[in-house]
Amino acid sequence: MQTIIRSNNVLIDGKFQGADIVIQGDKITAIEPYKSIDIAIDLGDRRVVPGFVDLHGDAIEKELEPRPGAKFPTKMAVVELDKKLSIAGVTTMYHAIGFNDEELSKGRGTEQSRELIEEIYEANKSHLGVDNFVHARFEITSESSLETIKNLITNKRVDMLSIMDHSPGQGQFKTLESWKKYHLSAYSIDDEDVSEYLEKKLSKDKVGIVEDLVAFGIKHEIPVLSHDDDCEDKLNTLKQLGVTFSEFPLSVEVAKKAKELNISTGMGAPNVVRGGSQSGNIAARELVKVGVCDYLCSDYHPASLLLSPYRLKEDVDLAFAMISSTPAKLANLEDRGELKEGKLADIVVIDESHFPKVVLTFKNGEIVYNGIRGFKI
């Protein structure tokens, strides 16, 4: 089946312009001049952009447990989030699944994460609307989950790997107070258990584990990322290990150093939309302003991806690339991220008449979300 859509606001080669887009099967087969095809479906002034590629999103956690103790079935959570992703314009999602210290998860975290990853993998093959991939996040003191995560990588259940260290006094949590504020509410750990847990955590040898797992990920040809980088020494070490991404660098200086080392940098779209970090760290706009932020991810809020380009008013065209073509290239997804002949027909249509909202999402040439009243093909 052939479908032709038209708009005078299509993102092509980094600029918005008029065009007719020809879709055949799962591909874009041609980009023709505006109004050159008589049978095109005219979308008027609506923006037409590539489907969003989200390299880090942990919204599945809230889908599984929207309130503390209120847990829902894994199969249901995966399906429901998939629907929300299509509404948000996300056609490629890397679910950020954490492997944390067993003291925080009471020994069940590793198995729960494994089960979730297996469910995402199986559901993605059969009945989900968008591409659901896995970004495994490994807390570097979580030795108990090391073999599990290696097995998942070997069996091609994991598409991306990040290394994280949430010890207090560095990274995201500069003080013990900030660490407690987050962890006591997010995990089943009592205040009186904190000292014993931290003493054990801080005494562990992290270097060997990091070297081993990073090498393992690289051997299996998946991108390896670092998380919450806060100093140049850390970046130098990670570069030597082969890490190529820095997620959420904590200062302009660190982000600049990452770029000098040819390490790509990414920040959260919610940070952009809200105007700052929820944890008091650097505002993403500061990094974008000086050219040291390559891409944006949804972090914990998929809907923020759409609004983030509008918040970055300095260059809306560039900002859309930060949520589509750039993350696609960084993830080695050469078949998507741009509206070009031969690329997958992952296409998002945006209505700006009242407030920017996704009204139509194509995935592999098929409509997976239709929010235009009366619209039919």
What's the CATH number where 43 sits? 2.30.40.10
C-beta separation of 372 from 7 below 8 A: no
Say if residue 19 is in the same domain as residue 137: no
Residues 149, 279 within the same domain: yes
CA 370 to mean position of chain CA atoms: 23
> Which pLDDT band holds residue 102 (cuts at 50, 70, 90)?
low
- Residue 376 within any structural domain of the chain: no
Q: Is 25 inside a domain boundary?
A: yes
CATH label of the domain that carries residue 109 = 3.20.20.140
Same domain, 154 and 278: yes
**pLDDT tens digit string along 129-170?**
999 999 999 988 888 899 999 999 999 999 999 998 855 545
Tens-place pLDDT, residues 289-313? 999 999 999 999 999 999 999 999 7
User: What's the pTM value of the predicted model, to 2 decimals?
Assistant: 0.89
Q: Is residue 377 part of a domain?
A: no
CB 104 within 8 A of CB 180: no
More confident residue, 109 or 58: 58
Q: Which domain holds residue 135?
A: 52-330
pLDDT of residue 179: 46
Summarised one tens digit per residue, pLDDT across range 178-209 is 544 555 555 555 666 655 555 555 545 567 88
Q: Is residue 158 part of a domain?
A: yes
118 and 264 belong to one structural domain: yes
Cα–Cα distances (Å) from 158 to 16, 122, 131, 151, 211, in that order, read: 35, 12, 13, 9, 18
Q: What residues are paired with 15 via a beta bridge?
A: 12
Asked if 14 and 127 sit in the same domain, the reply is: no
Q: Which SS3 state, helix, strand or coil, does residue 103 take?
A: helix
